């Protein structure tokens, strides 16, 4: 296993994702002799995990079972231990594309935070690219280093423990792209510019507040960045449901109802919840929004150095 | 070569040798001239009003007439100067607020100062461009949706991907960019061959195409059932005859013909490069005689060449079939004009367990059905139907606000992860148990809703 390379079977030392069903999952570090408790019972790593194929169904002691998944940056993002606020895959996707990242890209990032974005960046630039990530919080920097080692990607990333606003990224004229997720990105724009290659590159800054965006945009303009563009991306997830709507009784004859072409092709799914009423129902599939309110994560400001 | 862009025509010759991101001005002759950084002429005394209470729209604020402007343009005067003239001849300009003046200048500049910037192709540029210019050709796949697909599909170097798209090859190109030439891609195509118009815009180096395979969608069923053979390969009867003929022929003959084609181009190249040298010309004329003798052979060679092409195509197809037969692909990406359900139910067979798949559809309803059918089939978990909204912002001092909302129109995605499918009916009761266990609580709740 590695976060940048698929493997077939689960090995000692791997990080695997235990999938319990319906968005409920957690990561485990696979180790001989270790056991993991789930609500379906115990998983014994030596017998239940090691040597099995990723994607296998594993039966736990209580007879319940779980699926064991190969780790990906996306699954990691959903399961990682939070040390800070993290970026989720929706934002990460657009960041990756707008920064034009691909195998071989050199990227600078600050701050490392919980490493959610870092894993995705490393995945995309591997095997020939590199990530230089700067985190001013010493413990977080240490923890990130440890995780990268565990996940088999340490050769693709350099973690530096310093203040990016004061000391920059520790590299100059090497990066194809720079990503900033810090409280005062405008103070790091100059360092970002010098970290980028002489022939140019892309920059992105993530900020929750519009005031931060304004200051950042001004700084970018001042440093000669072009193509400055701010956007926001929102994810809407839909639950797929079979909905039945009751037909109102308007005093019409029953035959009229059946002739209007209601879809009763799926009656086997479950009986009408309103069976006590004589009236029919209409069933249909619908994508129902999960949440009523779409949250705000942050504004993404992109620009080009050329 | 003459190129027309935004009602301007020009030649690209002058752009060669400049770095990407260079901005050019279009001159009257259609030539490009690198544009220097212009110092904004803000030295003139700035006069501006505070509001528009006295500005009346009488249509007479601009003193220059249409003909005047046309005359200026015909004289070949720089756009910058035309804009300046327009400002000077606008009676209301000085009464406008500073922000309105700014806006006015920007609008006029856009119209009269023809500048173009030449940039390097990338998924970002091409997907944005296609969505703006040719959304129909990419099934209205918005660029942020494409970005989601690449991430949800965990596209990275070393993957063995299956891609089924009818997006002019844009999705294929995006996947190729993210894989950087490492790993392999099998493109499933409908009809006579894969469309790669957008793919070619990326300007990928040749090695990127070494591990790009294609396989006709119409042969998927036979591949799955095990009845797939190359004999049944060509779609049209004409090709069929050729293949039969070829398969009757000796392998030796194929090899010699292959060698011949390899030699032929080099001979031709020599012909073209040395026509001025007399000695060579003599040789050529001698060769020419031989060539005439071989004229009748040429016809045969043409047929042979066809055979070789056929043979190579078949070889590539066999390779693709072999790759698919391993059933260990690292992911599946579908973005087509076809109904996604049958595509997914068949193509997922080729994907290894614990791998992501993503289906794009312009409409939500087919994905609802697809979701249900995949649940019935099993072998997939973490199914998610989603959509993204994209909002662009104008950020200017004291004038920051959202530009436009793009809701809908960007399409929908259904994604999930494959798992090992239960074999035999013995486990089916178990899987049913899961089905009941998992969504039953949701169902109950929903069932209650209509009451």
**Which CATH architecture does the domain made up of B133-229+324-387 adopt?**
3-Layer(aba) Sandwich (3.40)
Q: Is B50 in CB contact (< 8 Å) with chain A?
A: no
Among chain B residues, CA nearest to A98: B124
Ranges of chain A with pLDDT below 70: 1, 253-279, 291-294
Q: How far apart are CA A55 and CA A16, in angstroms?
A: 10
Residue A290 covered by a domain: no
**Range 299-328 of B in CB contact (< 8 A) with A:** 328
The pLDDT confidence band at residue B30, using thresholds 50, 70 and 90, is low
Yes or no, beta carbons of B368 and A126 under 8 Å apart:
no
Question: What is the distance between the alpha carbons of residues B147 and B443, in angstroms, rounded to a whole number?
Answer: 32
Q: Report the pLDDT value the prediction gives residue B236, as an integer from 0 to 100.
A: 45
A61 and A80 together in one domain: no
- pLDDT of A278 reads 52
Instruction: Give first-to-last CA distance, chain A, whole Å.
Output: 39
Do B368 and A240 touch, CB atoms closer than 8 A? yes
Burial of B318 (0-12, 13-18, 19+ CB in 10 A): middle
**CB-based contact, B15 to chain A, within 8 Å:** no
The least confident of B21-30, B171-180, B220-229, B342-351 is B21-30
What are the tens digits of pLDDT across the range B235-281?
A: 444 444 444 444 443 333 433 343 333 333 333 333 333 333 444 44
pLDDT at B429 over 70: no
- A273 closest CB neighbour out of B20, B146, B450: B450
Can you give the pLDDT at residue B74?
77
Q: How far is CA B281 from CA A85, A221, B269, B450, in A?
A: 76, 63, 14, 90
The DSSP string of B110-131 is: HHH--EEEE----HHHHHHHHH
Which of A93, A243, A284 would you mutate first to test chain B, the one with the most B CBs within 10 A? A93
Count the neighbouring beta carbons within 10 Å of the beta carbon of residue A210: 14
Query: A162 and A86 in one domain?
Result: yes
Retrieve residue B79's tokens. 């756009």
Q: Which two tokens stand for residue A78?
A: 């959903």
Q: Count CA within 13 A, CB hemisphere, residue B267.
A: 11
Question: What is this structure's pTM?
Answer: 0.82
Residue A303's φ and ψ, nearest 5 degrees, are -155, 165
| B82 close to B73: Cβ distance less than 8 angstroms | yes
Residue B295, C-beta contacts closer than 8 angstroms, at least 6 positions apart: none
pLDDT in tens, B63-101: 778 788 778 777 777 777 777 777 778 878 777 887 778
- Provide the token pair at B302: 């043409």
Q: Do A4 and B443 touch (CB under 8 A)?
A: no
For residue A31, the domain's CATH number is 3.10.330.20
C-alpha distances in angstroms, B57 versus B52, B61, B86, B94, B97? Answer: 11, 8, 17, 15, 15
For residue B425, pLDDT beyond 70: no
Cβ(B145)–Cβ(B361) under 8 Å?
Answer: no
Q: What is the CA radius of gyration of chain A?
A: 25
> Do residues A15 and A129 both lie within one domain?
no
Cβ distance of A72 and B356 shorter than 8 Å: yes
Q: Are residues A187 and A155 in the same domain?
A: yes
Distances (CA, A) of B65 to A42, B61, B69: 85, 11, 6
Last residue of a domain, one of A45, A71, A97: A71
Q: Please say if the pLDDT value at position B439 is more than 50.
A: no
**Which two tokens mark A193?**
């510019």
d(C-alpha A37, C-alpha A43), whole Å: 6
Average pLDDT of chain B, as a whole number: 78
Instruction: Establish whether the linkage from the previous residue to A111 is cis, with ω within 30° of 0.
Output: yes
Same domain, A94 and A220: yes
B119 contacts: CB under 8 Å, gap ≥ 6:
B20, B21, B125
How many domains is chain A partitioned into structurally? Answer: 2
Residue of A nearest to B388 (CA): A235
A146 and A94 within one domain: yes
Task: Give pLDDT, residue A55.
Answer: 95
pLDDT at A62: 83
CB-count burial class (<10 Å; 0-12, 13-18, 19+) for A178: buried
pLDDT of res. A249: 85
CA distance A128 to A109: 17
CA distance B158 to A126: 9
- A22 CA to chain B: closest CA distance, Å? 7
Q: What is the pLDDT of residues A16-71, one digit of tens each?
A: 999 998 778 999 999 999 999 998 889 999 999 999 999 999 998 888 889 999 99
Comparing A256 with B333, which gets the higher pLDDT?
B333
Q: Coil, strand or helix: which one is B196?
A: coil
* Pairing of β B212-216 and β B184-189: parallel
| Assigned domain for A67 exists | yes
From B122, B144, B384, residue closest to A233, measured CB to CB: B144
Q: What pLDDT was estimated at residue B205?
A: 96
Residue A63 lies in a domain: yes
- Measured from the Cβ of residue B349, the count of other Cβ atoms closer than 10 Å reads 17
pLDDT, mean of residues B176-188? 97
Distance, CA of B298 to CA of B292 (rounded, Å): 9
Q: Nearest 10 degrees: CA dihedral of B94, B98, B103, B107?
A: 30
Give the tokens for residue A53.
């194929």
The token pair at A236 is: 């809407």
Annotated binding site of A for S-adenosyl-L-methionine: 114-117, 135, 163, 181
- Tell me the C-alpha distance between A228 and B38, whole Å: 18
DSSP 8-class letter at B191: T
The span from the CA of A101 to the CA of A125, in Å, is 7
Asked if B368 reaches chain A (Cβ–Cβ under 8 Å), the answer is yes
Same domain, residue pair A207 and A225: yes
pLDDT of residue B54: 76
Which candidate from A5, A210, A232 shows the least CB-CB separation from B391? A232
Residue B26: exposure state from Cβ atoms within 10 A (0-12, 13-18, ≥19): buried
**CB proximity list for A127: less than 8 A, separation 6 or greater:** A4, A103, A156, B157, B158, B182
* Eight-state DSSP code of residue A132: E
Same-domain status, A61 and A86: no
pLDDT the model gives residue B104:
79
Segment holding A29, helix H or strand E: strand A24-29
Report the percent of chain B where pLDDT is more than 90: 44
Which of B130, B131, B157 has the most A C-beta neighbours within 10 Å, making it the best mutation to test the interface with A? B157
Distance of alpha carbon B359 from alpha carbon B354, whole angstroms: 16
Instruction: Identify the band that residue B292 occupies on the pLDDT scale cut at 50, 70 and 90.
Output: low
Q: A261 lies in a domain?
A: no
Output helix, strand, coil percentages for chain A, rounded to the nearest 5: 25, 30, 40
Asked if the structure places residue A285 within a domain, the reply is: no
A23 and A141: one domain? Answer: no
Same domain membership, residue A127 and residue A44:
no
- Tally C-beta pairs within 8 A across A and B: 210
Ranges of CATH 3.40.50.150 domains, chain B: 133-229+324-387
What is the layout of strands, in order, in the sheet containing A57-59? A24-29, A15-21, A65-69, A57-59
Q: How far apart are CA B360 and CA B337, in angstroms?
A: 9
Query: Which strand (E) or helix (H) includes residue A235?
Result: strand A226-246
Q: Is residue A242 part of a domain?
A: no
Q: Across the strands, what pairs with B223?
A: none
Q: How far apart are CA B139 and CA B335, in angstroms?
A: 8
Query: To 10 degrees, the CA torsion angle through B127, B133, B139, B141?
Result: 30
* Exposed / middle / buried, residue B65 (Cβ in 10 Å: 0-12, 13-18, 19+): exposed
| Position B22 pLDDT exceeds 80 | yes
Q: What is the pLDDT of residues B119-135, one digit of tens each?
A: 899 999 999 999 999 99
Place of tokens 């409409």: B363
Element spanning A41, H or E: strand A41-44
Cα B432 to Cα B345, B346, B394, B427, distances in angstroms = 19, 22, 52, 9
Asked whether residue A255 is assigned to any structural domain, the reply reads no
| Inter-chain touch A230–B392, beta carbons under 8 Å | yes
B341 interfacial to chain A (CB closer than 8 Å) = no
Query: Which residue carries 């015909």 as its tokens?
Result: B74
C-alpha distances in Å from residue B28, one per residue of B23, B36, B76, B81 = 16, 18, 7, 15
Structural domain including A178 reads 75-234+295-305
Contact (CB<8Å) B355/A55: yes
Of A230, A240, A273, the CB nearest to B448: A273
Q: Is the pLDDT of residue B360 over 90?
A: yes
**Alpha-carbon span A301 to A305, nearest angstrom:** 13
Q: What is the CATH number of the domain that holds A99?
A: 3.40.50.150
pLDDT of B308-331, one tens digit each? 988 888 889 999 999 999 999 999
Is residue A249 a part of any domain in this protein? no
- Across the interface, which of B371, B381, B395 has its CB nearest the CB of A240? B371
Given a contact cutoff of 8 angstroms between Cβ atoms, the answer to whether B22 and B118 are in contact is yes
**Does A179 lie in the same domain as A139?**
yes
Residues A98 and A63 in one domain: no
CB A125 within 8 A of CB B158: no
Looking at residue B45, what is its pLDDT? 54
Residue ranges of E strands in B270-411: 331-335, 356-361, 380-394, 401-406
**How many residues are recorded in chain A?**
306
User: Can you tell me the distance from the alpha carbon of B297 to that of B134, in angstroms, rounded to the nearest whole number?
Assistant: 47
């Amino acid at each position: 296993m590695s976060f940048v390379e698929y493997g077939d079977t689960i090995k000692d030392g791997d990080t695997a994702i235990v999938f319990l069903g319906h968005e409920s999952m957690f990561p485990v570090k696979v180790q001989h002799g270790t056991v993991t408790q789930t609500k379906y019972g115990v998983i014994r790593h030596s017998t239940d995990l090691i040597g099995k194929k990723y994607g296998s169904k594993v039966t736990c002691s209580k007879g319940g079972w779980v699926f064991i998944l190969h780790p990906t940056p996306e699954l990691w993002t959903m399961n990682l231990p939070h040390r800070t606020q993290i970026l989720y895959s929706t934002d990460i996707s657009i960041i990756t594309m707008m920064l034009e990242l691909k195998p071989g890209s050199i990227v600078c990032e600050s701050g490392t935070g919980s490493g959610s974005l870092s894993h995705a960046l490393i995945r995309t630039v591997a095997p020939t690219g590199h990530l230089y990530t700067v985190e001013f919080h010493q413990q977080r920097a240490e923890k990130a280093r440890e995780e990268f080692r565990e996940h088999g990607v340490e050769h693709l990333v350099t973690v530096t423990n310093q203040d990016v606003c004061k000391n920059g990224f520790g590299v100059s004229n090497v990066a194809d792209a720079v990503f900033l997720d810090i409280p005062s990105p405008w103070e790091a724009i100059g360092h970002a510019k010098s970290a980028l290659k002489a022939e140019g590159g892309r920059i992105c800054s993530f900020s929750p507040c519009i005031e931060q965006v304004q200051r950042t945009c001004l700084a970018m303009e001042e440093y000669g960045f072009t193509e400055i563009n701010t956007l926001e991306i929102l994810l809407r997830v839909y639950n797929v449901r079979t909905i039945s709507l009751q037909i109102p009784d308007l005093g019409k004859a029953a035959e009229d109802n059946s002739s209007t072409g209601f879809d009763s092709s799926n009656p086997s799914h479950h009986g009408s919840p309103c069976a006590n009423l004589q009236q029919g129902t209409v069933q249909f599939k619908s994508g129902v929004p999960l949440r009523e309110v779409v949250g705000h994560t942050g504004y993404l400001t992109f620009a080009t150095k050329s | 070569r003459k190129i027309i862009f935004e009602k301007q025509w020009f030649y690209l010759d002058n752009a060669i040798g400049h770095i990407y991101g260079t901005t050019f001005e279009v001159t009257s002759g259609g030539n490009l001239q690198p544009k220097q950084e212009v110092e904004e002429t803000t030295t003139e005394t700035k006069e501006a009003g505070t509001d528009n209470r006295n500005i009346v729209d009488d249509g007479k604020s601009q003193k220059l007439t249409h003909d005047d402007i046309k005359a200026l343009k015909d004289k070949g005067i720089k756009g910058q100067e035309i804009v300046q003239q327009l400002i000077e001849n606008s009676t209301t300009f000085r009464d406008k607020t500073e922000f309105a003046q700014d806006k006015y200048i920007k609008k006029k500049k856009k119209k009269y100062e023809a500048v173009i910037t030449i940039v390097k192709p990338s998924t970002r540029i091409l997907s944005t461009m296609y969505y703006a210019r040719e959304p129909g050709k990419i099934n209205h796949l918005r660029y942020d949706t494409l970005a989601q697909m690449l991430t949800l599909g965990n596209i990275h170097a070393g993957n063995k991907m299956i891609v089924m798209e009818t997006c002019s090859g844009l999705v294929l190109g995006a996947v190729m960019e993210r894989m950087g030439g490492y790993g392999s891609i099998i493109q499933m195509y409908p009809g006579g061959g894969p469309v790669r118009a957008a793919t070619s815009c990326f300007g990928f180096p040749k090695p990127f195409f070494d591990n790009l395979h294609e396989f006709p969608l119409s042969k998927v069923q036979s591949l799955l059932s095990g009845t797939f053979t190359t004999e049944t390969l060509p779609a049209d009867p004409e090709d069929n005859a050729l293949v039969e003929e070829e398969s009757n022929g000796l392998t030796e003959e194929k090899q010699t013909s292959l060698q011949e084609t390899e030699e032929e181009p080099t001979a031709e190249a020599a012909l073209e490069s040395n026509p001025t040298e007399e000695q060579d010309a003599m040789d050529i004329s001698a060769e020419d005689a031989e060539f005439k003798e071989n004229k009748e052979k040429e016809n045969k060679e043409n047929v042979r060449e066809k055979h070789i092409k056929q043979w190579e195509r078949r070889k590539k197809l066999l390779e693709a079939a072999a790759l698919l037969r391993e059933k260990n692909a690292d992911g599946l990406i579908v973005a087509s004009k076809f109904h996604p359900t049958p595509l997914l139910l068949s193509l997922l067979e080729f994907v290894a367990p614990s791998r992501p798949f993503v289906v794009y559809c312009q409409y939500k309803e087919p994905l609802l059905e697809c979701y249900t059918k995949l649940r019935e089939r099993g072998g997939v978990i973490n199914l998610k139907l989603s959509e993204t909204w994209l909002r662009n912002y104008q950020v200017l001092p004291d004038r920051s606000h959202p530009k436009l909302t793009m809701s809908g129109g960007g399409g929908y995605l259904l994604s999930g992860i494959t798992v090992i499918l239960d074999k035999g009916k013995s486990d089916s009761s178990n899987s049913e148990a899961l089905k009941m266990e998992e969504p039953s609580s949701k169902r109950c709740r929903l069932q209650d809703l209509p009451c």
